[in-house]
Structure 1
Amino acid sequence: MPLRVLLLAGLALMWTFVEAGRLAPVGVRRHGWRATLLWTGGVTGTGILFGEVGQPLLEWLLATHVDYSGYGVLVGNERAALQLLAYALTSAAIGEEVLFRGFFLHQVTAIFGEGAAARRGAILASGAFFGVAHFIQGWLGILFTGLMGVVFAWAWFRSGRNLWSLIMAHALIDIYGIAMIYLGRYN
């Protein structure tokens, strides 16, 4: 699966380049490093806070849990955790951000315009697709990941399409999550 995501991301970048002659429309362009770091920190902090507070609250309210059983092999298994981390830093952080934020949001706004309604629809659709892509975590995982997808999509627009900050935030959130699974906190 990870190689497919990277392949699709590569195709999306090629499509964008052929279409626009540059990659800026998906957010692959120079952004100020201070703004990039601020957006990275804000999105990362939101993701970790939501994971530590929002997810348990949702689990309690809905009397169910996000299904992390598919990751059970990672608990205490350094090799498996490092292997997943390598996939997460490439396929998830880079591939998913290029596809679900940069490419998808650019294409939706290219079709429907840059108006507020089009952006809101694009944000919600991006979050929904992102959530469904994480079906391995069960329906609550789809909901939780979908909500984070909405946060990421909102941040893509608000940051001036700063894809770099989202790639770094996604990487940091995945590092944190994999570490928590490795340590036995999520299982």
Structure 2
Amino acid sequence: MRERIIALFGVIVVPAVTYYAPAAPEIAGALLAFVLVWIEPAPAIAELGLERPRRVWRTLALGVGFGIGLFFLNRLLVTPMIEYITGIRRDLTRFDYLRGNVTALLKLLPLIWLTAGFCEEVVYRAYLITRIGKLLRNSNAARIAGCLVGAGIFGLAHWYQGVAGMLVTGTLGLLLGFLFLQQRRNLWANIAAHIMADTVSLTAVCLGFDRSVDEFGRSLLGL
């Protein structure tokens, strides 16, 4: 009972901290997730999928490949389809300062690797999926519910991208949730995938070929 009460508390509070903390919210949310798992008590490293994978290089290679695939799936299919359905363009103007600015890109990437690649995966995939699973007795339905809830909150956290952006990131979050389950709740492939997808995406903005990829995706769909 104690573990389930803590899990319920965490499912509500950890995403809130990750969103609302006044400083370093993603880091604060991930740290809180570690603390709550530890006081359940449970082995936090194992519970959050951070044990060393049996095949390290294979896991990382899978993650890198998945991340690259996620970038192209996003730009060529998911984003244009959601923009067409909603009639609203995804708002990525927040990153326009990176255009042609390699110095800004190099300063931003390490922060993105930590806050998005690591901390967001700990919170939205590892923590929410495993804790919702614990609340619902670790059934297959519980795992799917965890993926859906994690993806939904992940999408809402990207509110600055507008309605289309929230739907896009929620969809990508769902795919990352399925990857986490496919990896038997080991998080390292997810971390590699998220880091790679964000790195390719931000580099595309910096080098100016993101819009070309987007237009190509729309043309493929006849939009």
TM-score (norm 2): 0.77
Give the 5 Å matches for 1:31-46: 31=53, 32-46=55-69
Which structure 2 segments of 5+ residues have no match? 1-21, 212-223
* Closer/same/farther in 2, CA of residues 96 and 2 from structure 1, 3 Å limit: farther
Distance 1:34 1:140 in 2: 35
SS at match of 1:23: helix
Range 77-86 or range 170-179, more displaced: 77-86
What is the percent sequence identity of the aligned residues?
27
Give the 5 Å matches for 1:24-35: 24-31=46-53, 32-35=55-58
Higher relative contact order (CA 8 A, sep 6+): 1
- Letter in structure 2 aligned against 1:157: L
The partner residue of 1:50 within 73, 85, 89 is: 73
Larger-Rg structure: 2
> CA RMSD, aligned part only?
1.9
Equivalent residue, structure 1, for 2:117: 93
Range 12-21 or range 139-148, more displaced: 12-21
Equivalent residue, structure 2, for 1:4: 25
Equivalent residue, structure 1, for 2:163: 139
1:115 matched to 2:136: no
Distance 1:45 1:77 in 2: 22
Q: Which runs of 4+ in 1 moved over 4 A?
A: none
1:21 matched to 2:62: no
Range 54-63 or range 86-95, more displaced: 54-63
Which structure 1 segments of 5+ residues have no match? none
1:177 matched to 2:201: yes
State the Cα deviation string for residues 77-136 of structure 1 (Å, max 9, x = none): 222222221211111101101111111111111111221211111111111001011111
Distance 2:88 2:76 in 1: 15
Distance 1:177 1:2 in 2: 25
